[in-house]
Chain A
Amino acid sequence: MRGKKMSIRVLVLVLGLAFAVGSAWAQETIKVGVVGPRTGTAAATGKAFEEGIKLATDYVNAKGGVLGKKLEIVFEDTAGAPDKAASGFERLVTRDKVVMVLGESHSSSALAEIEVAERFKVPFIVVEAWADPITAKNYKHVFRAGPSNSGVVNETIAKWVVHEKFKKAFIVAENTDWGLGIAELTKAALTKAGVQFDFLVTERQSQDHYTELSKIKAYDPDVVLAYVYGTGLHYFVAQAGEVKLMPKAVVLDGAGPPSLWPDYWKNVGDAGDLECFVSSMHEKVELTPLATEFREAYVKAFGGPPTDYKSRSIYDSILIAADAINRAGSTDSDKLVDALEKTNLLVTRGTVKFGTEKGGPGYHQWDPPMLVVQWQKRQQVVLYPPEAATGKLMR
């Protein structure tokens, strides 16, 4: 009796599974996947990505789409977790049959995703994950149209530290792949530049930085290089103000966007003024005409100027992808990789060309120019590079 019922249940179960076997959609559009965190602590990035995606698809489709079809973007949430990122990437490839994948803002997630990209032979353009190994692994299908840790440190942060004649630096890194990776590079660059420094690791989710700050204060640095992402940075800056670490020492947010998030000022209060951060976007510095076009389209669509520069980063990468698909004349993976390698395209941040020399992080890498910006009376002032500077460091 019981056995019979059980077998009925098993049968129902199996039938249920059969329904799960969906049929692939008929291909009326060309699909490109985007991966990024739409939930979790970095959900703000996902929102910026969504904005960029909307503007870029409108732009591309208004200009005739790709291969005569409309470009369709499928956004997969990674929640900022490597395992979800890897399975989400796989889902884009196996379920949605995308021809290419773009995006990502977490190094740890990107490092998991490039393995999947390589396994399924799908071209993947990383946008805002900075860890060097992403391109240093020299994977055939992996490109990066965005900052790399070594690019940001060697070209921007270390040069800025020297430029401002700082003598003593303190490096604070969150215990993630990005934080520890960029901290190591910074140590090497500062050693080379002859700048004295000390270093400590902090927990990413920690809300209380008093102990760390007292250690930093005891060292009495000129500049604190904070590699802490998300709201952790807000707590750090606010508390640095409370213990009067600032304004004697200058604090640099080595990631950027958290200093631009809408509630930055609410969380940090007056301590937020005079804080510096790296950014690839500034309201008064626009490197290409497309950047102006992007800003105007953004204001029109969302009723205000862009805050998180990652909306523009994903916008650029979609333009790069559409350009490559059109030049390849096909969605074949090898041809796409070939076309990407030959990219020579003007986007909002400059002209994209991917490195093709193997053996280092420069392979399949394009580093956009980065700026060091300081909040001065709640206005953004560009400090570095000198040719783009709109003001001087204040302390």
Chain B
Amino acid sequence: MLALATMNGLVIGAIYALAALGVSLVVGIMNVINFAHGELYILAGYFSYILADTLGMHFVLAMVLAVALVFLFGIFVEYTLIRPTYGNDMYSLILTFILSIVLQNAYLLIFGPYPNKPPGWVGGATHVFGAFYYGNQRLAALVAGAVVIAFVFVLVKKTWFGRIIRATSQDREMAELNGVNTTRLNMLSFGLGCALAAAAGVILAPVFPVTPTAGVPVALTAFVVVVLGGMGSLWGCVVGGLILGLVENLGAAYISTGYKHVFNFIILILVLLVRPAGLFGRREA
């Protein structure tokens, strides 16, 4: 049971990390928490379902297209809702909170309460280490998640775009003085944050089918990961995500299945008490 719980913790943890990366990126650059993060994750799941299942597209193409569509939707949201609130983080919170409820109910109306599941990539299960059976789709999700995370790291740490992002999140005014168009950067990074939510969504939807409200726990966990890892820290997301995934699954295996999700929030409160800036955060976050 230990082996299975650990394996499951790693897989779920990787997906938490991926979902949290989007939140973290947006917080780091714009100081905005996007409450509708989970609903964008779900939106991507629906898109990939429609494209692959209803329209019969190849699943890889459907996934890429779904992420691109959510990226555009994110830019639209930034332009219409978020942009006027810069300088007032509380107001963007309220707006995105309302947006998340609106989206949930819109999904309910359009797609109904039933879960929708895009086609799986692989079938069957693998006998891992001769110890337990593990769904192949989950293993594939782990690999895909790791690839996307690596891509984000390369983007932020190694490219010109990444340098601008890092400069802006460290000192916005300085970046502006050096000719960075922060309005456009905000728009792009918000869209990128949404696209990361979407990536997590399309990767996980074949494992956990999407329902109108399934995004709520995803977003809550992503927020906890971001606080745990430290606002704006990418490494923090990865480590935080894996910690949460492991704690949740080991806790469920050995302490209580009913309290599975409470462990997250206990960690959140401990972090706030002991080290509010998070594991990898800057002190004055």
Contacts and interface: CB of A to CB of B under 8 A. Distances in A.
A175 B135 CA distance: 26
Contacts of B261: 203
A203 B257 contact: yes
Interface stretch (A35-43, A49-57, A322-330): A35-43
Contacts of A215: 1, 253
B18 to A, nearest CB: 16
B113 interface: yes
A118 B200 CA distance: 50
Nearest to B1: A214
Given A211-B249, A242-B133, A203 B260 contact: yes
Contacts of B208: 207-208, 235
A211 B113 contact: no
Given A211-B252, A218-B1, A200 B257 contact: yes
Sorting the interface of chain B by its residue count into under 10, 10 to 19, 20 to 34 or 35 or more gives: 20 to 34
Given A242-B135, A262-B114, A267-B115, A210 B4 contact: yes
Contacts of B125: 242-244
Interface in B99-138: 108, 112-117, 120, 123, 125, 132-135, 137-138
B117 A267 contact: yes
B45 interface: no
Interface string B209-235: 101011001000000000000000000
B8 interface: yes
A262 B252 CA distance: 32
Interface residues of A, number: 34
A189 B8 CA distance: 35
Contacts of B75: none
Given A211-B8, A235-B208, A242-B125, A201 B114 contact: no
Interface in A219-263: 231, 234-235, 239, 242-244, 261-263
A338 interface: no
A61 interface: no
Nearest to B261: A203
A44 B211 CA distance: 13
B113 A44 contact: yes
Interface of B: 1, 4-5, 8, 12, 108, 112-117, 120, 123, 125, 132-135, 137-138, 208-209, 211, 213-214, 217, 249, 252-253, 257-258, 260-261
